[in-house]
Amino acid sequence: MGVEVVVEGLTKSFGKQSIWRDVTLTLPAGEVSVMLGPSGTGKTVFLKSLVGLLKPEKGRVLINGVDMVNSPEREIYETRKLFGLMFQDGALFGSMSLFDNIAFPLREHTRKKESEIRRIVMERIEIVGLLGAEGKLPGEISGGMRKRAGLARALVLDPQIILCDEPDSGLDPVRTAYLSQLLIDLNAQLDATMLIVTHNLDIAATVPDNMGMLFRRELVTFGPREVLLTSEEPVVAQFLDGRREGPIGMSEEKDAATLAAEANTARPVEPRRIVPQLEPSPGLPHRRAVTRRRERVLGMIDQLPPAARTAILRTYADSTATPTAPVPAAGSGA
Amino acid sequence: MIGGALRQTGRLFALAVEVGRAIFRRPFQFREFVEQFWFVAGVTILPAALVSIPFGAVIALQVGSLTRQLGAQSFTGGASVLAVVQQASPLIVALLIAGAGGSAICADLGSRKIREELDAMEVMGVSPVQRLVVPRVLATMGVAVLLNGLVSVVGTLGGYFFNVIMQDGTPAAYLSSFSSLAQPADLYISELKALVFGFIAGIVAAYRGLNPRGGPKGVGDAVNQSVVITFLLLFFVNMVMTVLYLRIVPPKGG
């Protein structure tokens, strides 16, 4: 089972520029979470802070009792072996073939025989649909393939925490859909805690159990997906609808005058519909996180806003009536 | 401004300490070490040999001309060999290693850094310092020591040739002044200098490579800076080591 990640009061700035302040959230063990946010709100910085690549000035990131911010370097290195991080453009080693790239963590951290390594690596290559390209250098393949190779490398040590930095950027909608399915399938197979940082609305609507959003140097909200999807918060609503009207401006945020002008010309907004979450592909085990999440969410349901409460209750009522939500027949060959 | 310079210096020393500790941490990256050693040796051997012949010649001619005016012609050999072995050879080696090997190391690490390869490595629980920097620093140190031997020999031969052939020096006087002025300690300090210079070249190249500012242009700047910083440090450290040596080890002729 995955590991719980507890973030407490994390604050990060570069020089005088504050990135975000006082971010507190818990990634529940084994569940899939998505962090949304407009470009440039420090989503990638947040991911890198979780693994201890960047050091926030304040706060803690607790994983199995190790604080990724302040613990000794040796413990941080040890804890990092639990992680698989998929970088925005793959971050593959340019001088190694895809096979050697994906085999790298195995060769560094295990004493497996070369035949064993080959078996594991080819298995992962097949999962991400790169069979036949394993001999190529990262410079010889497309950006989408590099991303998938980066994912394969992140998966090779059976990580308990998987972090994906914008898995969709640079992918076409079809490949993004396959990738969404792949992430859910992975969660069903590995039962790992996952955090996906993205601004893709399709992924946000169909993949996560939990969602959060970063804006204006702080965490706007984090909780069960229904909370964000039904939120009336202007920032969240604007982002989820992809509108120009709202507090998010081109550079960062708008001034009051523009906002007032917009209020007069506001168009009616259609109510959002909550799309059912993706299910693992047929033949795969059920996601064990689903049961855990149901207990957790139903346990805290009294503290949630009314709209979210109704949405959650409706989802769970539906899912007992029809055991499987409609699933696109997506294989593993994304 | 000064604060920034001090901070950079501090980080450079921190990296040096970290490398020093990581050298003894298992597993040692033997393969990477051999590859880097081969690479650094490959790019420096030929230029070093080619530079050392004229350098030895220039020193021999200059010293020869001076000693003739002073009437101490029989000491030309010892004097020029000491100059080559103690000063010229370690510096030539270090300049070439910094210029040819260090710049390549800096560019390599810098481009890996901006492509996030080093971050990826850290996330996988592998320390880039241990995996990449230690083998490179050991390679520059090793090559520096061995190359120093080569340059000393070639430089001395060059000096001998020019003194005997061009300046009509006597071979016997040239050789016998070796043993009257030079001593084994001169050779040891020469090799020690090469070792230290190799370390400096490797550390500075790695430090600038690990911390490029901005994108690809930053890597170019980092390479440039690493060579300049290494040169400045080399001449300063050379001065300190020379002063200490002349203070501590009594000259043979005295």
For chain B, the structural domain boundaries read 30-248
Residue A29, min C-alpha distance to chain B (Å): 20
Under 8 Å between Cβ of A13 and A57? yes
Q: Which residues of A touch B115 (CB under 8 A)?
A: 89, 91, 94
Q: Starting from the edge strand earliest in sequence, which strands make up the sheet with A58-63, in order?
A: A17-27, A5-14, A58-63, A66-67
Q: Are B115 and A91 a contacting pair at CB < 8 A?
A: yes
pLDDT in tens, A7-25: 998 888 888 888 888 889 9
**What pLDDT does residue A229 have?**
84
Residue B27, min C-alpha distance to chain A (Å): 9
Could you tell me how far CA A139 lies from the centroid of its own chain? 26
**What pLDDT does residue A321 have?**
46
pLDDT in tens, B140-153: 999 999 999 999 98
Q: Are B119 and A92 a contacting pair at CB < 8 A?
A: no
Q: Which residues contact A20 (CB under 8 A, 6 or more apart)?
A: A10, A11, A12, A41, A42, A45, A46, A214, A217, A218, A219
Is pLDDT of A265 > 80? no
Name the band, by pLDDT with cuts 50, 70 and 90, for residue A330.
very low
Residue B166, min C-alpha distance to chain A (Å): 51
Q: Which residues of A touch B112 (CB under 8 A)?
A: 93-94
List the single residue in A with minimal CA-CA distance to B18.
A73
By a Cβ cutoff of 8 Å, what residues of chain A touch chain B?
A: 48, 51, 53, 77-78, 80-81, 83, 85, 87-89, 91-94, 104-105, 108-109, 150, 153, 157
Q: Name the amino acid, one letter, at A13.
A: S
List the single residue in B with minimal CA-CA distance to A50.
B123
Q: How far is residue B119 from each of residues A53, A92, A120, A276, B6, measured CA to CA in Å?
A: 7, 10, 24, 36, 26
Is pLDDT of B74 > 50? yes
Q: Where are the alpha helices (DSSP H) in chain A?
A: 43-50, 73-80, 98-109, 114-127, 143-155, 173-190, 201-206, 225-229, 234-241, 256-264, 288-299, 306-321
**What pLDDT does residue A264 have?**
67
Instruction: Summarize the confidence of residues A118-140 as an average pLDDT.
Output: 89
Q: Are A87 and B119 a contacting pair at CB < 8 A?
A: yes
CA dist., res. B207 & res. B227, Å (int): 12
Q: Are A108 and B126 a contacting pair at CB < 8 A?
A: yes
In a domain, A73, yes or no: yes
* Number of Cβ pairs < 8 A linking chain A and chain B: 53
Instruction: Summarize the confidence of residues B4-8 as an average pLDDT.
Output: 87
Q: Are B123 and A51 a contacting pair at CB < 8 A?
A: yes
Q: Does B117 touch chain A (CB under 8 A)?
A: yes
Q: Which residues of B touch A51 (CB under 8 A)?
A: 122-123
Residue-range definition of the domain harbouring residue A54: 5-15+23-82+159-255
CA dist., res. A129 & res. A127, Å (int): 5
Q: Are A109 and B125 a contacting pair at CB < 8 A?
A: yes
In a domain, A270, yes or no: no
Is pLDDT of A295 > 90? no
Average pLDDT, chain A: 83
Under 8 Å between Cβ of B107 and B208? no
Best to test chain A binding among B116, B119, B129, B210 (most A CBs inside 10 Å): B116
Q: Name the amino acid, one letter, at A186.
A: L
Predicted complex ipTM exceeds 0.85: no
In a domain, A193, yes or no: yes
CA dist., res. A319 & res. A274, Å (int): 13
Could you tell me how far CA B13 lies from the centroid of its own chain? 18
φ and ψ of A61, to 5 deg: -125, 110
Q: Starting from the edge strand earliest in sequence, which strands make up the sheet with A218-224, in order?
A: A83-86, A161-165, A193-197, A32-36, A210-215, A218-224
Closest CB from B111, B117, B131 relative to A91: B117
Best to test chain B binding among A66, A74, A87, A137 (most B CBs inside 10 Å): A87
**What pLDDT does residue A326 have?**
45
Q: Are B120 and A91 a contacting pair at CB < 8 A?
A: yes
Under 8 Å between Cβ of B93 and B147? yes
φ and ψ of A98, to 5 deg: -55, -40
Instruction: Summarize the confidence of residues B94-102 as an average pLDDT.
Output: 90
φ and ψ of B18, to 5 deg: -60, -45
List the single residue in B with minimal CA-CA distance to A85.
B123
Q: Are B116 and A87 a contacting pair at CB < 8 A?
A: yes
**Domain CATH number, residue A212:** 3.40.50.300
List the single residue in A with minimal CA-CA distance to B115.
A91
Q: Which residues contact A183 (CB under 8 A, 6 or more apart)?
A: A32, A164, A167, A194, A196, A207
In a domain, A115, yes or no: no
Is pLDDT of A323 > 50? no
pLDDT in tens, A170-225: 778 888 888 888 889 888 888 899 999 988 888 888 889 999 988 888 888 888 88
> How many independent structural domains does chain A possess?
1
Residue B145, min C-alpha distance to chain A (Å): 29
In a domain, A309, yes or no: no
Q: Are B112 and A53 a contacting pair at CB < 8 A?
A: no
- The 3-state DSSP class for residue A151 equals helix
**What pLDDT does residue A332 have?**
43
Name the band, by pLDDT with cuts 50, 70 and 90, for residue B76.
confident
Q: Does B124 touch chain A (CB under 8 A)?
A: yes
Is pLDDT of A268 > 70? no
Cross-strand pairs, A18: A13
In a domain, A201, yes or no: yes
In a domain, A325, yes or no: no
Is pLDDT of A270 > 80? no
In a domain, A204, yes or no: yes
Q: Structure pTM?
A: 0.81
HEC states along chain B?
A: CHHHHHHHHHHHHHHHHHHHHHCCCCCCCHHHHHHHHHHHHHHHHHHHHHHHHHHHHHHHHHHHHHHHHHCCHHHHHHHHHHHHHHHHHHHHHHHHHHHHHHHHHHHHHHHHHHCCHHHHHHHCCCCHHHHHHHHHHHHHHHHHHHHHHHHHHHHHHHHHHHHHHHCCCCHHHHHHHHHHHCCHHHHHHHHHHHHHHHHHHHHHHHHHHHCCCCCHHHHHHHHHHHHHHHHHHHHHHHHHHHHHHHHHCCCCCC
Is pLDDT of A334 > 50? no
| Polymer length of chain A | 334
